[in-house]
Amino acid sequence: MAETANPKFLRPLSAPDEDLGQALSFGPENPLMLDEGRKLSPFTIAYKTYGELNAAKSNAILVCHALTGDQFAASRHPVTGKPGWWDFTVGPGKAIDTNRFFVICTNVLGGCMGTTGPAETDPATGKPYGLSFPLVTIRDMVRAQAMLLDALGIDELLCVTGGSMGGMQVLQWAASYPDRVISAIPIATGARHSAQNIAFNEVGRQAIMADPDWRGGAYQGAGTQPSKGLAVARMAAHITYLSQPALQRKFGRSLQNREAISFGFGADFQIESYLRHQGLTFVDRFDANSYLYITRAMDYFDLAADYDGVLARAFRGSKTRFCIISFSSDWLFPPPENKTIAHALNAAAANVSFVEIESDRGHDAFLLEEPAMFATVRGFLNVVAASRGVD
Amino acid sequence: MAETANPKFLRPLSAPDEDLGQALSFGPENPLMLDEGRKLSPFTIAYKTYGELNAAKSNAILVCHALTGDQFAASRHPVTGKPGWWDFTVGPGKAIDTNRFFVICTNVLGGCMGTTGPAETDPATGKPYGLSFPLVTIRDMVRAQAMLLDALGIDELLCVTGGSMGGMQVLQWAASYPDRVISAIPIATGARHSAQNIAFNEVGRQAIMADPDWRGGAYQGAGTQPSKGLAVARMAAHITYLSQPALQRKFGRSLQNREAISFGFGADFQIESYLRHQGLTFVDRFDANSYLYITRAMDYFDLAADYDGVLARAFRGSKTRFCIISFSSDWLFPPPENKTIAHALNAAAANVSFVEIESDRGHDAFLLEEPAMFATVRGFLNVVAASRGVD
């Protein structure tokens, strides 16, 4: 293992002098066993921490990011210069209070912000992995995180939390390492990817792979970028993160900097301009192959499948305390999907509370300023911390 | 005007000896006035009729098709060889009974099944229109249909009906030609396109325009086809035609001809295989530029906007009888969108009934075997026919 101060990023940095977090590289003596059968070695996990680990190492909280997130949960994104993706929730005095807790956030396996993924160089060939990178699963991502925590000497997590794909990692943590997880807050997530969600992911992948600049995944060597395909993928996905009522409220049929429709194919409507912007800015910070790999990991996630199809068995005998949070207008992971997890935990006689928060902001609500979510997370962590003697 | 026995189709026919319907061409003496300001001339309307017009010409029903439909509502599609898109609803003894009624279905303006659209040759240049084809609106489509009916000597329509974009045409007919429309059945539709629907259309258009084979719309001259982009557009749209519960019921996480996931990007899941098939077969029968134009016409549809933003004014003094049908799981045109039309009609003191049919099949329910829809349409038409002395 080798610790480096800063991970390598694929993209130009907006503020190169900032604290870019750490990276831990695992050599041949520490291969990562993958679900698909092979070992990944060497590999690197890039991560960022917030707050201080206490002497008892009892105040660590692992925050898991969603599809296009990264380790910059609560600090400026080094490429875009924007606030961290969970800046509303994590920080000094916030719901996940970094004055009290030591927060760790890793870039997932297969990602493109310093952790090994398809855009990294394959040491065996000296070329970028591209499609020769092995397919990774949510369990592989979690296994890599566990290896990082081992290396950091953190045996126990006071809490594991995250939304969407982050929530999948939370569930996998609770199932794979029940003794290490004191509490878990899966948010806006599911124990398996639904047919509709697989369908949307497949549309995104087909959009990327239809772009001739993708070049069978070997675009880095060719000096191209499947930017158009990746932008279309992002646009389609972005719609699923919002909600019909919120889109209507925010955009409706308002026109973009014009008095009347243009009778053409420009961005007449604000919603079109907004979506195009989402697509264009995304390609500046994300790798297209990473998008393929991570969406596939989500599709493959089906926690019950590892337990004879009975989700409750994934949590049998668990002492972890669970707090499940869902949002009423989330149609990517609708409340019933979240409730299914609560039912399974009930069936396993686990300690679980379930909260459905009224919001018209759709799936993305978990990333936004949602006071009811903050109050829920804060209250739950207070109880858990008190039960473990964490100040 | 010149009547031709068969319209010209862009695609190879599967059964060239079939009854392919008619086409009526309007010469320079009959230009089509377009909403965007210019006149379209010459132009052709391709159509198909089912049943017999009675001597009083009082039994005509206009059926309007949706985005990717055509005039082959109740007869084999000449390109795909499949049954007509409304074969469940229209035919001898069916809900729209061609033993009693004379059904007319036209290919919409901008379409690609014989009616003038961007794929047709511009007589001014001798080349395909491509993007030089004027943007057409739902009102333009309806105006062209009205010219066809004038030419056929049909003054009055016993009913105008259709689902989705077909329903938009129904509403426009009732607003533009209230004296010609005895009754109207708009199905699974809205009086304007919502922000979310514009967003999905925009994703589809961006997918097409991102395809280098689209060539700025001039692909016909270049001998290319933006098939990959059009397939992605179709895949994204197709998801919106279904529903989460129906997708889960039909496909769930079932694998496609394999025992286990492949750890790759092939179509592991049945839903992926199904979507890819939808994309691939669509490009064999549809023109990419037509897709751009027709989606844009839908986006631009906002009936109230022509009446100072008050939808009820579109129907003021209307003597048309309305029957509005919506489906509970339709999230493209959810029941509230349909109900808005009913409320406006109530406010205009029009004769309206509203039916919400319980179904988990989403927007596409209107194309499927839905006995409650058949009973509603049949019963409504019986009453309307009786009131007009149509046997």
According to the model, what pLDDT value does residue B13 have? 83
Mean pLDDT (whole number) for B273-289: 97
According to the model, what pLDDT value does residue A46 have? 97
Q: Which residues of B touch A203 (CB under 8 A)?
A: 232, 235-236, 239, 275
Query: Residue B110: pLDDT above 80?
Result: yes
Query: Residue A154: pLDDT above 90?
Result: yes
Q: Which residues of A touch B331 (CB under 8 A)?
A: 244, 331
Q: Which of A207, A231, A251 sits opposite B195 (nearest CB)?
A: A251
Query: How sure is the predictor about B180, in pLDDT bands with cuts at 50, 70 and 90?
Result: very high
Q: Is B330 a catalytic residue?
A: yes
The packing angle between helices A195-210 and B270-282, to 10°, is: 50
Q: What amino acid is encoded at B63 in this protein?
A: V
According to the model, what pLDDT value does residue B9 have? 81
CB of A246 within 8 Å of any CB in chain B? no
Q: What amino acid is encoded at B42 in this protein?
A: P
According to the model, what pLDDT value does residue B313 have? 98
Q: DSSP class of residue A269? A: B
Domain architecture of chain B: domains with CATH: 2-196+303-387 (3.40.50.1820), 198-295 (1.10.1740.110)
Residue predicted with more confidence, A19 or A335: A335
Q: Is B213 a catalytic residue?
A: no
Query: What would the pLDDT profile of A346-363 be if each residue is shown by its tens digit?
Result: 999 999 999 999 999 999
Q: With CB atoms and an 8 Å threshold, state whether A195 touches B253.
A: yes
Average pLDDT across chain B, whole number: 96
Query: What would the pLDDT profile of B307-338 be if each residue is shown by its tens digit?
Result: 999 999 999 999 999 999 999 999 999 999 99
According to the model, what pLDDT value does residue B22 have? 94
According to the model, what pLDDT value does residue A5 have? 74
User: Which residues are bridge partners to A128 per DSSP?
Assistant: A121
Query: Residue B16: pLDDT above 80?
Result: no
According to the model, what pLDDT value does residue A18 have? 75
According to the model, what pLDDT value does residue B124 have? 93
Q: With CB atoms and an 8 Å threshold, state whether B272 touches A202.
A: yes
Query: Residue A17: pLDDT above 80?
Result: no
CB of A102 within 8 Å of any CB in chain B? no
Q: In angstroms, rounded to a whole number, what is the distance separating the alpha carbons of residues A185 and A163?
A: 9
Instruction: Spell out the SS3 assignment of A177-200.
Output: CHHHECEEEEECCCCECCHHHHHH
Catalytically annotated residue among B164, B318, B326, B359: B164
Query: How sure is the predictor about B233, in pLDDT bands with cuts at 50, 70 and 90?
Result: very high
Query: What would the pLDDT profile of A272-328 be if each residue is shown by its tens digit?
Result: 999 999 999 999 999 999 999 999 999 999 999 999 999 999 999 999 999 999 999
Query: What would the pLDDT profile of B24-62 be if each residue is shown by its tens digit?
Result: 999 999 999 999 999 999 999 999 999 999 999 999 999
Query: How sure is the predictor about B8, in pLDDT bands with cuts at 50, 70 and 90?
Result: confident
CA distances from B303 to A373, B80, B192 (A): 40, 34, 6
Query: Residue A364: pLDDT above 90?
Result: yes
Q: Which residue of B has its CA nearest to A270?
A: B195
Taking the model in full, what pTM does it have?
Answer: 0.97
Q: Which residues of A touch B273 (CB under 8 A)?
A: none
According to the model, what pLDDT value does residue A125 have? 95
Query: Residue B15: pLDDT above 80?
Result: no
According to the model, what pLDDT value does residue A8 have? 78
Q: Is B93 left (phi over 0), alpha (psi -120 to 50) or beta?
A: left
Query: How sure is the predictor about A86, in pLDDT bands with cuts at 50, 70 and 90?
Result: very high
Query: How sure is the predictor about A13, in pLDDT bands with cuts at 50, 70 and 90?
Result: confident
Query: Residue A15: pLDDT above 80?
Result: no
For an interface test with B, the pick among A136, A139, A239 (most B C-beta atoms closer than 10 Å) comes out as A239
For an interface test with A, the pick among B263, B306, B331 (most A C-beta atoms closer than 10 Å) comes out as B263
Q: Is A183 a catalytic residue?
A: no
CB of A253 within 8 Å of any CB in chain B? yes
According to the model, what pLDDT value does residue B1 have? 79
CA distances from B275 to A202, A210, A314, A354, B285 (A): 8, 15, 32, 34, 16
For chain B, percent of residues with pLDDT exceeding 70 = 100
Q: In angstroms, rounded to a whole number, what is the distance separating the alpha carbons of residues B214 and B229?
A: 8
Query: Residue A16: pLDDT above 80?
Result: no
Catalytically annotated residue among A70, A77, A97, A164: A164
- Both structure tokens of B313: 């004014």
Mean pLDDT (whole number) for B68-85: 95
Backbone angles phi, psi at A273, to 5 degrees: -60, -45
Q: Which residues of A touch B267 (CB under 8 A)?
A: 202
Residue predicted with more confidence, B304 or A18: B304
According to the model, what pLDDT value does residue A158 have? 98
CB of A54 within 8 Å of any CB in chain B? no
Mean pLDDT (whole number) for A361-380: 98
Q: With CB atoms and an 8 Å threshold, state whether B265 touches A292.
A: yes
According to the model, what pLDDT value does residue B19 have? 79
ipTM of model: 0.96
According to the model, what pLDDT value does residue A65 have? 98
Q: With CB atoms and an 8 Å threshold, state whether A269 touches B198.
A: yes
CB of A319 within 8 Å of any CB in chain B? no
Query: How sure is the predictor about A10, in pLDDT bands with cuts at 50, 70 and 90?
Result: confident
According to the model, what pLDDT value does residue B12 have? 83
Between strands B127-128 and B183-187, the pairing is: unpaired
**Chain A 16-45, CB below 8 Å of chain B: which residues?**
35-36
Residue B182 contacts residue B320 (beta carbons within 8 Å): yes
Q: How far is B26 from chain A (nearest CA, A)?
A: 23
Mean pLDDT (whole number) for B74-94: 96
Q: A174: closest CA among A308, A303, A45?
A: A303
